[in-house]
């Protein structure tokens, strides 16, 4: 029997030079295991936003690939990412999804760990002998770095610094995305979570897929008023673009006038935001600030897609967690303004509920087509999946090719990185 790494030696057959994806990419369990080792164990994986860990002792559970981790802010204010597994006999030391604590204690034999993962104490230690080294028995700690509030962790101590992994263009777009704080820091307001019977790469593709929007989301478009519907007709206006930003990352600009939310502040306000304008004026906000906040409430005009697991998607974070070859967990994290007007945050949450999550007007239709992809791959094993759309007129961008708004340029960027990481 072939070893898994030999079985996948011919990476060109899995993702061809002319942008065809082999069916087995979505359904081969051995390949999935290789991906978890070669990609999710070796690169930067997004685990949390700074605002989710507001105080010392604040924590949340997260994942790096298949591994459950705790993300926690310690007494010094540093964020630690710790594998959620006692060093004694492997029990999880935390099963609370988020909260605040002063330590983590294993429920099995009472080993206690500090917020930095260090082993603080254990019952009856004398049975391990006098030379027992507590320093060598802390919770396994991942390398952790942050950019503009986005916290990433990696098992790979040799990987390049986070800022280099992101690169200059991604950092520029992250900074632009965070302008939707409207002058306030961006804050996580909550999240929608749903699991979908699909391979994780189906999701990776979708965040950079504008082509599907008018088809899959027709019923969402119909529930919008005229102005908002216009804004989402980005395929017809053709003003947007998709650009490969290097290292598997890409941006899909749907509404170019919303790239920089400090611009176009004097454009007419969409009808759906007029009640908010009035509420902010009544609340005593000066006119300049009202414009800035209302502009920000509408969100950014692009999806910034980071390889391998997080997308900055118009107005929220979309996070994927692979579960197995045919199952992926999705989180849609709602964002608002930390210390901003309650009316603005209410509007942000209602807009999020409108499209996102298990009861949204958009996500259930996305989930349906993603599952249909997974179901469809049961037939025609020999047929390739096409991600070659828009190759015909790509132009050079700052760091990689830039294509039509409906081009599959972003998917090709991701698969290029996939191939690079799988070949190492």
Cis previous bond, 150, omega within 30 = no
Of the residues 365, 377, 403, 413, which one makes contact with other proteins according to CB under 8 A: 365
Using DSSP's 3-state secondary structure scheme, residue 15 falls into strand
Can residue 368 be called a binding residue for other proteins (CB under 8 A)?
Answer: yes
Tell me the angle at which helices 342-355 and 274-282 cross, rounded to the nearest 10 degrees.
160
Return the closest-CA partner of residue 73 out of 94, 93, 51. 51
Task: Please report how close the Cβ of residue 231 comes to other proteins at its closest, in angstroms.
Answer: 18
Query: Residues 95 to 114: which contact other proteins by CB under 8 A?
Result: 97
| 311: helix, strand or coil | strand
Residue 227 is a binding residue for other proteins (CB under 8 A): no
Q: What is the full DSSP assignment across 323-359?
A: EETTEEEEEEEEEEETTS-HHHHHHHHHHHHHHSSTT
Q: Which of 7, 42, 233, 354 binds other proteins (CB under 8 A)?
A: 354
Structure tokens at 262: 């400090």
Could you say which of 145, 160, 191, 279 contacts other proteins (CB under 8 A)? 191
Among 185-193, 201-209, 237-245, 292-300, the segment contacting other proteins (CB under 8 A): 185-193
Stretch that binds other proteins, among 99-107, 243-251, 363-371, 401-409 (CB under 8 A): 363-371
Applying CB under 8 A, the site for other proteins has a residue count of 38
Of the ranges 164-172, 360-368, 387-395, 407-415, which one interacts with other proteins (CB under 8 A)?
A: 360-368
Nearest to other proteins of 161, 364 (CB atom)? 364
Q: Is 229 in the site for other proteins (CB under 8 A)?
A: no
Minimum CB separation from other proteins for residue 97, in Å?
7
337: β partners: 186
What does the alpha-carbon distance between residue 243 and residue 408 come to, in Å, rounded to a whole number? Answer: 10
Please answer whether residues 207 and 303 qualify as being in contact, where contact means their C-beta atoms are separated by less than 8 angstroms.
yes
- Count Cβ atoms within 10 A of the Cβ of residue 197 and give its class: 0-12 exposed, 13-18 middle, 19 or more buried: middle
Q: Is 334 in the site for other proteins (CB under 8 A)?
A: yes
Are residues 186 and 75 in contact, defined by beta-carbon separation less than 8 angstroms? no
Q: Work out which of 9, 148, 193, 237 binds other proteins, going by CB under 8 A.
A: 193
Q: Does 222 engage in binding with other proteins (CB under 8 A)?
A: yes
- Give yes or no for residue 216 binding other proteins (CB under 8 A): yes
The structure tokens listed for 353 are: 């509920």
Please tell me the distance from the alpha carbon of residue 213 to that of residue 264, in angstroms, as a whole number.
25
* Binding residue for other proteins, selected from 46, 113, 200, 220, defined by CB under 8 A: 220
Residues that bind other proteins (CB under 8 A): 97, 189-196, 216, 218-220, 222-223, 329, 334, 342, 345-346, 349-350, 352-354, 357-361, 363-365, 367-369, 371, 375
């Amino acid at each position: 029997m072939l070893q898994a790494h030999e079985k996948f030696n011919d990476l060109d057959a899995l993702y061809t030079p002319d942008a065809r994806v082999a069916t087995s990419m979505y359904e081969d369990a051995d390949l999935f295991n290789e991906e978890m080792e070669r990609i999710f164990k070796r690169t930067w994986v997004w685990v949390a936003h700074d605002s989710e860990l507001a105080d010392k002792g604040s924590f949340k559970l997260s994942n790096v690939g298949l591994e459950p981790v705790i993300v926690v802010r310690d007494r010094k204010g540093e964020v630690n990412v710790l594998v959620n597994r006692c060093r004694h006999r492997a029990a999880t030391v935390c099963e609370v999804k988020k909260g605040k604590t002063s330590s983590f204690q294993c429920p099995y034999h009472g080993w206690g760990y500090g917020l930095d993962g260090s082993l603080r104490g254990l019952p009856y230690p004398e049975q391990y002998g006098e030379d027992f080294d507590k320093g060598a028995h802390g919770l396994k700690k991942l390398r952790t770095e942050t950019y503009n509030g986005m916290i990433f962790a990696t098992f790979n101590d040799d990987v390049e610094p986070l800022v280099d992994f992101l690169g200059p263009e991604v950092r520029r777009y992250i900074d632009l995305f965070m302008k939707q704080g409207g002058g306030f820091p961006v804050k996580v307001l909550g999240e929608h979570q749903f699991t979908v019977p699909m391979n994780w790469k189906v999701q990776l593709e979708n965040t950079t897929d504008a082509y599907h929007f008018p088809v899959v989301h027709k019923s969402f478009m119909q529930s919008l008023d005229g102005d908002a519907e216009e804004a989402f007709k980005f395929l017809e206006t053709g003003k947007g673009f998709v650009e490969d930003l290097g290292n598997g990352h890409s941006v899909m600009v749907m509404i170019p006038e919303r790239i920089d939310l400090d611009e176009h502040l004097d454009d007419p306000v969409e009808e759906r935001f007029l009640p908010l304008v009035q509420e902010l004026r009544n609340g005593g906000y000066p006119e300049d600030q009202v414009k800035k906040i209302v502009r920000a409430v509408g969100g950014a005009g692009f999806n910034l897609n980071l390889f391998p697991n997080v997308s900055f998607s118009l107005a929220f974070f979309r996070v994927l967690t692979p579960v197995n070859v045919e199952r992926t967990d999705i989180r849609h994290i709602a964002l608002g303004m930390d210390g901003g007007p309650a009316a603005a945050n209410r509007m942000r949450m209602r807009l999020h509920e409108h499209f996102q999550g298990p009861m949204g007007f958009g996500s259930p239709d996305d989930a349906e087509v993603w599952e249909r992809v997974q179901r469809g791959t049961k037939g025609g094993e020999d047929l390739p999946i096409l991600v070659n759309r828009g190759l015909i007129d790509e132009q050079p961008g700052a760091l990689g090719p830039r294509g039509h708004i409906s081009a599959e340029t972003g998917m090709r960027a991701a698969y290029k990185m996939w191939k690079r990481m799988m070949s190492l």
